[in-house]
Amino acid sequence: MSLRDVLSPFTAWKHVINDPVTIKDPFSREASDRYRGFHQNDMDKCIGCGSCEEICQNAAIDMVPVEGQNAGPGDSGLRPMIDYGRCCWCALCVDVCMTGSLTMSNEYTWVDSDPDAFRFVPGVDAKSWDLEPKGYQREDERRLTGTVRAPMGETCPEDRIGNFDEIVDGFTAEQAIIEADRCVECGLCVATCPAHMDIPDYISKVRDGDYEGGLQLLYETNPFSQACGRICTHKCETTCAAMHEGDAIAIRWLKRSITDSVPRERYFDLIQKPDVPETGQSVAIIGAGPAGLTTAYDLARKGHQVVVFEALDKPGGMMRYGIPEYRLPYHVLDHEISVIESMGVEIRCNMRVGQEISMDQLKTAYDAVVLSIGLHQGRSTRVPGSEKAEAAIDLLRRITAGEEVPVPEQVAVIGGGNVAMDIARSMARLQKIKHGKVGVTVTALEELDRFLADKEEIEEALEEGCDIFPARGPQEILVDGDTVTGLRTWKVDAIFDAEGRFAPKYDEDDEMVHPAGMVVEAIGQMADISLLGAELTEQLEWNRGRIMIDADGQTSEPWLWAAGDAVSGPDVIHAVADGHRVAVSISRMLTAKREALQ
Amino acid sequence: MRELLYRLKDRYHFGTPTFQRDDLCFVTVKRSELRAILTELRDVEGFTHLTLLTAVDWIEEQQFQLTYMINNREANLTLALRVMLDREDATGDTIHDLWPTAATYQRELREMFGINFPGSPRVDEEFILEGWTDLPPYRRDFDTLAYSQQTYHDRPGRETHDPKTHMQKVLYADYPKGAK
């Protein structure tokens, strides 16, 4: 033993007058600022997507219904209940949280003799640390799921304005997988989709590269997945969990990537008619749009004979005669409808009910009749000179049918919805082809941010050279002899009165004249119900100008159902949902009828 | 630090260095040269302290990455050397003779990743897991959730709800789901 070993203990005495480095009161010591303690959950932000439960490696989290939180758009109403007997405080749940609602306080000391006390719903079952600002929070820029949408290729404005070619490229396989990978598969979107498509399930098929399985899944809920993959109003994307801290998942484009990835001839192998006996019963469907054809598809697959009567040259309804080709190419629609026909559905075109065949004849010859006639009559502004105006919907139909339409150098469109954008952009294309330049003016009552049209429709119209004048109310269509010369508008001060009724107020001093050789009205459509005839019109029950239907789509007549835009308003996916509903209701009636006869 | 790497690069094979900060750099080296580089850095360049030794499981590439983080206190520089190992073989070279503390890290890696370091003191003894018979738990093919479900009981009365199914029940129970 050296002298140093003997003396060194005494050198410690030199610290006797220093402040101690140990903690005076170790029992009430606060944890460090970013300590991972008991959870906090902000009820205003939590959407009940269950990503926390999904990621938990200890199965410590259950999603449970709680008092005061209701299911609604983009919120399941469920909230995470945590079992602290299993929690290992790893904070993966905080890291994955899609809204940032779930955090951790730095409180971790709690003694209780009841083990069940350690199972509770943070943010609902009040705890002393609920408002504690310290504790673990996800670092601001760190996200486990991607926040940015995979890029989508599009034809540039200069290249697309002179033709009706499709604009959007569709995802490549790589882009689709990157986009699908961002989805946490919570399924909040499914409730928002009118047809309640199995969105997370088909997105996971994209991720696995199983496009054929994905296609079969799409057809279970929507025989118009090709069309919807292109032009759906995609309300699902407004309730996506990913939108809270980034871009919503491009659900519509992922659907399209499935339908585009399966070779067309394979559709007929993958989507086959189920092996069911023929019922010998038959259904007549009036109108070959998405509602009518979805009904037809479902009923044919149940063994009923289905005949669709279509007034126009080709089937498709608004998808063909309303939506321009650059958004939904006709060959896509043709293929989609041929799959429906392969179920044994017969479509008779150029058969206008009320002319070629009457409602009475249908009622007699078929076990049930479905009215899915859409909204093919344009509404008019009824301002002076409006008898000289064109109806957007009529013009769009004529363009599709290949009819010659007048193409003046300057066109004014009244309306701010998607149909207004469709006709503005269609006319712009025709002008470019005929005159080499675009001259389209769009006027609407609403401010630009309140336009009913989709944002991308407005952006693309502007890119293509259309001029948009928001908050302008039409006063007169100016006419010189037989020719239209322009549109006179006033500035709109307010569209609705204090009670919320439509009563536009104008600033008469702010007048503009938009020169135009054609004025197009695109302010809404109505159903052409002349086919019903006076007697049936009288018999049916009505609700504010629309045929009244029950929850199953049945009218007040026991043999007549109604579906689609004419009763539900304009939207393809809504029409598809209507079609499913009506088909189930009719099938139920037909089965009861069969059983009664046996 | 850039100057140091520049000086060494003629004699050793370095990957492209990643500078996290001016005083913190990561660089991949060859396994056969690791020992020589570590020794030279320790004895000639003043990197006297082994800050940590850890691993990453790159299961898709079938490789383990060992990270040797060493520190020069005098110059306040930290250098992390990465060595890639074949995941199948999973054997590294012990450096406990260079830094005695490495033996502890190597024992931990043996237990948590199943990476062996032949010759390292007490490397086969249990470290923190007692009676572990499963896959080493830090390997990415170890299913943590399945393990915890097999190993620990749930409190009685637990019940969870799938958001999609719950919303269907509450919001649209009457909709005919599917055309089947």
Domain residues of chain A, as ranges?
29-120, 157-270, 282-376+528-597, 377-525
Euclidean distance between CA atoms A50 and A247, whole angstroms: 19
Instruction: Give per-residue burial for B110-120: e unless 16+ CB within 10 Å, then b.
Output: bbbbbbbbeeb
Q: Which of A260, A200, A206, A201 is nearest to A230 (CA)?
A: A260
Q: Tell me the mean pLDDT in the region A85-98.
A: 95
Nearest-10 crossing angle of helices A418-435, A455-463 = 20
Of A76, A86, A115, the CB nearest to B163: A76
Tell me the per-residue pLDDT of A56-69, one tens digit each, with 9 for 90 and over.
999 999 999 999 99
B173 touches chain A (CB under 8 A): no
Q: Which of A89, A90, A101, A86 is nearest to A51 (CA)?
A: A101
Predicted pLDDT at A141 = 76
Amino acid at A19: D
Contact criterion met (CB below 8 Å) for A371 and A334: no
Predicted pLDDT at A591 = 96
CB contact under 8 A, A59 and B149: yes
Residue B122 lies in a domain: yes
Euclidean distance between CA atoms A395 and A286, whole angstroms: 23
CB contact under 8 A, B170 and A71: yes
Question: For residue B81, is pLDDT > 50?
Answer: yes
Q: What is the ipTM of this complex?
A: 0.90
Euclidean distance between CA atoms A239 and A187, whole angstroms: 10
Contact criterion met (CB below 8 Å) for A290 and A575: yes
Query: To the nearest whole percent, how much of chain A has pLDDT over 90?
Result: 91
Q: Which of B38, B35, B57 is nearest to B47 (CA)?
A: B38
Search chain A and give the residue with CA nearest B162.
A63
Euclidean distance between CA atoms B159 and A229, whole angstroms: 37
Euclidean distance between CA atoms B180 and B175, whole angstroms: 13
Q: Which CATH architecture is the domain A282-376+528-597 placed in?
A: 3-Layer(bba) Sandwich (3.50)
Q: For residue B114, what pLDDT band results from cuts at 50, 70 and 90?
A: very high
CB contact under 8 A, A58 and B144: yes
Contact residues for B53 (Cβ-Cβ < 8 A; gap 6+): B66, B67, B68, B69, B95, B102, B105, B106, B109
Question: For residue A272, is pLDDT > 80?
Answer: yes
Report how many domains make up chain B. 1
Looking at the DSSP assignment, which residues form a beta bridge with residue A560?
A369
Q: For residue A7, what pLDDT band results from cuts at 50, 70 and 90?
A: confident
Three-class DSSP category at A197 = coil
Query: To the nearest whole percent, how much of chain A has pLDDT over 70?
Result: 100
Q: CA separation (Å) from A434 to A120, A163, A406, A421, A550?
A: 70, 11, 10, 20, 49
Task: Give me the CATH code for the A157-270 domain, please.
Answer: 1.10.1060.10
Contact criterion met (CB below 8 Å) for B113 and B55: yes
Q: Which of B98, B130, B141, B143 is nearest to B117 (CA)?
A: B98
Tell me the per-residue pLDDT of A424-444, one tens digit each, with 9 for 90 and over.
999 999 999 999 999 999 999
- Say which residue, B151 or A562, is predicted with more confidence: A562
Q: Tell me the mean pLDDT in the region A124-130.
A: 95
CA distance B56 to chain A (A): 18
Averaged pLDDT score across all residues of chain A: 95
Task: Please report residues of B whose CB lies closer than 8 A to that of A86.
Answer: 148, 152, 154
Task: Please report residues of B whose CB lies closer than 8 A to that of A53.
Answer: 160
Q: CA separation (Å) from A524 to A166, A286, A394, A452?
A: 25, 22, 12, 11
- Burial of residue B11 (CB within 10 Å: 0-12, 13-18, 19+) is exposed
Search chain A and give the residue with CA nearest B147.
A58
Question: For residue A341, is pLDDT > 50?
Answer: yes
A220 touches chain B (CB under 8 A): yes
Contact criterion met (CB below 8 Å) for B139 and B114: yes
Q: For residue A203, what pLDDT band results from cuts at 50, 70 and 90?
A: very high
Question: For residue A73, is pLDDT > 90?
Answer: yes
Euclidean distance between CA atoms A588 and A578, whole angstroms: 15
Question: For residue A1, is pLDDT > 90?
Answer: no
Residue B162 lies in a domain: no
Q: Does this chain's domain A282-376+528-597 share its CATH topology with A377-525?
A: yes
Between A and B, how many CB-CB pairs are < 8 A?
106
Question: For residue A20, is pLDDT > 90?
Answer: no
Looking at the DSSP assignment, which residues form a beta bridge with residue A455?
none
Question: For residue A90, is pLDDT > 90?
Answer: yes
Query: To the nearest whole percent, how much of chain B has pLDDT over 90?
Result: 89
Q: Tell me the mean pLDDT in the region A40-46.
A: 97
CA distance A20 to chain B (A): 27
Predicted pLDDT at A567 = 93
Question: For residue A360, is pLDDT > 80?
Answer: yes
Q: For residue B180, what pLDDT band results from cuts at 50, 70 and 90?
A: very low
Task: Please report residues of B whose CB lies closer than 8 A to that of A48.
Answer: 163
Euclidean distance between CA atoms A549 and A557, whole angstroms: 10
Euclidean distance between CA atoms A456 and B170, whole angstroms: 33
Nearest-10 crossing angle of helices A392-401, A418-435 = 50
The domain containing residue B138 runs over which residues? 2-154
Q: Which of A347, A205, A378, A228 is nearest to A284 (CA)?
A: A347
Euclidean distance between CA atoms B102 and B122, whole angstroms: 12
CA distance A91 to chain B (A): 15
Contact criterion met (CB below 8 Å) for A567 and A547: yes
A377-525 topology per CATH: FAD/NAD(P)-binding domain (3.50.50)
Strand A502-515 to strand A483-496: parallel, antiparallel, or no bridges (unpaired)?
antiparallel
Residue A262 CA to its chain's centroid (Å): 23
Decide which of 3.30.70.3270, 3.40.720.10, 3.40.50.300, 3.20.20.150 is the CATH code for A29-120.
3.30.70.3270
Name residues 115-154 of chain B within 8 A of A (Cβ).
Answer: 144-145, 148-149, 152, 154
Give CB contacts under 8 A, 24+ apart, made by B146-154: B148/A57, B148/A58, B148/A59, B148/A86, B149/A59, B152/A58, B152/A85, B152/A86, B154/A59, B154/A83, B154/A86
CB contact under 8 A, A78 and B161: yes
Q: Tell me the mean pLDDT in the region A76-88.
A: 96
Tell me the per-residue pLDDT of A374-419, one tens digit each, with 9 for 90 and over.
999 999 999 999 999 999 999 999 999 999 999 999 999 999 999 9
Q: Which two tokens stand for residue A40?
A: 């906090």
Name residue, tokens 């013009």. A395
Tell me the per-residue pLDDT of B1-41, one tens digit each, with 9 for 90 and over.
899 999 999 999 999 999 999 999 999 999 999 999 999 99
Euclidean distance between CA atoms A242 and A144, whole angstroms: 11
Amino acid at A560: L
Q: Chain B interface, mutation test: which of A55, A57, A225, most B Cβ atoms within 10 Å? A: A57
Question: For residue A503, is pLDDT > 70?
Answer: yes
Question: For residue B179, is pLDDT > 60?
Answer: no
Q: Which of A518, A519, A325 is nearest to A422 (CA)?
A: A325
Q: For residue B153, what pLDDT band results from cuts at 50, 70 and 90?
A: confident
Euclidean distance between CA atoms B103 and B96, whole angstroms: 5
Averaged pLDDT score across all residues of chain B: 94
Q: Tell me the mean pLDDT in the region A158-182.
A: 95
Residue B170 lies in a domain: no
Residue B83 CA to its chain's centroid (Å): 11
Q: For residue A5, what pLDDT band results from cuts at 50, 70 and 90?
A: confident
DSSP B153: P
Residue B161 lies in a domain: no
Q: Tell me the mean pLDDT in the region A36-47.
A: 97
Residue B179 lies in a domain: no
- The domain that holds B61 is classified in CATH as 3.30.460.80
Q: For residue A28, what pLDDT band results from cuts at 50, 70 and 90?
A: confident
Looking at the DSSP assignment, which residues form a beta bridge with residue A542?
A547
